Structure 1
């Protein structure tokens, strides 16, 4: 794919315009958008201009006009009208940072750190929580950047920041994710925040598919541990409270009497003499003989099913 030099007529839309309260997000998105077009153009935000007598000055000037126009396009009109007098893109960029960035305002930095520890998922879905936390972390990176200079120290400090983000994200999650949170914190090494988000998002999808109740945080764990192997071939099912509720309580049939055959523990509607005997039961005469002999299996099955008849 051949690179095409941007033209002064090109537009660059980043999805929001600078106003008096969104500079941190706007500046990051602007840098990403311009850098995505050309890293050479991105340098116009931070580098001093070439000397007017330099052989490459005309090319530099054309590129700078492009960057300048992109900045103006993404500023609210009531603000942009007062900013067109700046000579080059860097001067405009620096002026915007001075005017709208709070810089090293420690009170706002303190407020952001408080938000990272107090934020809760609440009524938000997982994606909304993740976006909110990304915004806070981004503002913190701008206001409280990595202060280290040595490469090794920078790496160590970044590792601490990554762990802090992980703890803050897990703390913000609802109680229903406690099981997956414990599993993530037991991992060695710890996952990144992005990896943790992916794992929790997968868990949320599983919960939705299985129709689990958000009010019962232990349900996911119960289902995960509810199937155990009692021998090499057959699973032994341990019923959770959710499964138990699927089975209705037994009805006392001791007071039931059939008006057709006169026998107990069932009614006329369920009498085999009317409904017909199933294949697994004997003929009527034989069933009576077994019942008179006190066959306990007959009593148990009749009790549970509410049918007349006997088992051979």
Structure 2
């Protein structure tokens, strides 16, 4: 009876071992497939990007030695030859499958993955071509934001700088020298980035230059982007102020802009402020969306306050109707509300309007 039980246990153990072996075999890593999941294909013009992506992928599979020479081909009589042959074919398959079909015929006949890799580098790598470096630097020096988005301008610059770094790597050997070189390079790139920004960001550009310690290019971009986003929010919140009117007022002389501002505020009715209240500061002259205390004061705010104090004695006796007439003669294209008979010091608020702050 005991022998029968032992035999049954042995058979059961043997079958379980066989099943586990089959499961492990069937679930062998998919990562060893020669079909490499890289969307970018080598086409002859993108070797720099292609080589970095493929090298990163192969290194992640712990097979980098098959393209850098760390795993040379052993003798066929060596016990490790069979494994080397299998893994070499797998890495070679990764390289071939990451190439455009028109290029495969040029590399498929090489017996080792290292030969495929070296041949591609010899054929397409132009890192020592000074004309390429010159063209990249020329494009960097001429690149401007030109009214486009901050993101696109920054990303385009970074792409060019990465290509330059690939062709002109840091030549320093000492750790301290490497850090010093990188710091100087970062500072120069911040200057280049700031120089290409639109003039509307000039005051933010000055803020970045005053930062201590001096920022990296990533930090400078983050600072500029935050200010650009804030300006976009403020502009989108000015529902009742046409953008053309704002730009025209900025271009007027001090006396002209002050006259228009006073006439615009005096022509509004006090009844328009009913139910209009900022939930941030409690003022009844604007809403939360246009609250300067919450979103920050624009550049022209302090100038306007100084002008009001300076021009107040000269404008106290100017009727509202005359002020509107003067403004209309200067800005015939800007829509102005119908003038009232009230005097400038009777100005009222307008819901969602910047004029409500004056």
Instruction: Give the TM-score taking structure 2 as reference length.
Output: 0.57
SS at match of 1:82: helix
Cα distance in 2 between the residues matched to 1:111 and 1:301: 60
Verify the 8 A CA contact 2:65 2:71 in the aligned structure 1: no
1:241-252 superposed matches below 5 A: 250-251=320-321
The equivalences for 1:219-234 within 5 A come to: 223=298, 226=301
Tell me what 1:102 maps to: 126
Q: 1:300 to 1:62 in 2, by over 3 A?
A: same
8 Å contact kept, 2:47–2:125: yes
Matches for 1:1-312 after TM superposition, within 5 Å:
7-9=31-33, 11-35=35-59, 37-38=60-61, 40-53=62-75, 56-211=80-235, 223=298, 226=301, 238=305, 250-251=320-321
Shift of 1:104: 0.9
Normalised by the size of structure 1, how large is the TM-score? 0.64
Supply the distance in 1 between the matched residues of 2:296 and 2:40 (Cα, whole angstroms): 43
Query: What is the CA–CA distance in structure 2 between the aligned matches of 1:47 and 1:60, rounded to whole Å?
Result: 13
User: Per-residue displacement from partner, 1:38-85 (whole Å, max 9, x unpaired)?
Assistant: 3x2234332343342565554444333333222222211101222111
- Superposed CA offset, 1:191-225 (max 9, x none): 11111112222222212211176996x99996168
Structure 1: 5+ residue stretches without partners: 229-236, 242-248, 253-269, 271-298, 306-312
Change (3 A) 1:196 1:11: farther
Q: Determine the C-alpha separation between the residues in 2 that align with 1:302 and 1:109.
A: 65
> In structure 2, do the counterparts of structure 1 residues 300 and 94 end up closer, same or farther at CA, with 3 Å as the change threshold?
closer
Q: State how far apart, in whole Å, the 1-side matches of 2:224 and 2:67 are.
A: 39
Partner Cα separation in structure 1 for residue 93 and residue 297 of structure 2: 60
SS at match of 2:63: helix
Structure 1: distance between partners of 2:46 and 2:126: 11
Distance apart, 1:240 and its partner CA: 9.1
Q: Which is worse superposed, 17-26 or 41-50? A: 41-50
> Measured at CA, do residues 93 and 195 of structure 1 come closer, stay the same or move farther in structure 2, by a change above 3 Å?
same
Which structure ranks higher in relative contact order (CA pairs < 8 Å, sequence separation ≥ 6)? 2
Q: Bigger CA drift: 61-70 or 186-195?
A: 61-70
d(CA) in 1 for partners of 2:232, 2:38: 34
Separation in 1, partners of 2:80, 2:300: 70
Q: Supply the distance in 2 between the matched residues of 1:89 and 1:166 (Cα, whole angstroms).
A: 41
Maintained 8 Å contact 2:73/2:84: no
CA contact (8 A) 2:190 2:220 kept: yes
**Unaligned stretches of 5+ in structure 2?**
1-27, 237-242, 252-294, 309-318, 323-339, 349-358
